[in-house]
């Protein structure tokens, strides 16, 4: 669901940048509203890190978690940027 909102930054494509970004995503347990999306571990490339957070923001709001019984849900989301060989 979130991955369909991923865009590979053009500068990263041109320069061959690849990596994995760990994004801490916190959503409201009652509404599915995005509370926060923060880079927990960066890729080493600001453009990829920024795109990972923006991808989560574009995907919001999220479905309400079933029977969560707490006000917030926080998950660590790995976002992988890999260029395909041509």
Q: Which domains does the chain have, with CATH numbers?
A: 3-81 (3.30.1150.10)
Most distant CA atoms of the chain, gap in Å: 48
- pLDDT band, residue 67 (cuts 50/70/90): confident
In the predicted model, is pLDDT for residue 60 greater than 70? yes
Give me the helices (H) in the chain, please: 10-15, 46-59
Q: Which residue's entry shows tokens 């917030």?
A: 72
In the predicted model, is pLDDT for residue 39 greater than 90? yes
- pLDDT band, residue 70 (cuts 50/70/90): confident
Q: H or E element: which one contains 80?
A: strand 72-81
In the predicted model, is pLDDT for residue 85 greater than 80? no
Q: What is the pTM of this model?
A: 0.92
Q: What per-residue confidence (pLDDT) applies to 86?
A: 62
């Amino acid at each position: 669901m979130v991955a369909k909102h991923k865009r590979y930054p053009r500068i990263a494509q041109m320069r061959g940048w690849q990596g994995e970004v760990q994004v801490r995503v916190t959503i409201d347990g009652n509404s599915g509203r995005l509370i926060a999306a923060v880079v927990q571990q960066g890729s080493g490339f600001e453009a990829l890190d920024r795109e990972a957070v923006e991808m989560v923001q574009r995907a919001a709001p999220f479905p309400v978690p079933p029977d969560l019984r707490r006000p917030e849900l926080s998950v660590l989301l790995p976002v992988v940027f890999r260029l395909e060989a041509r």
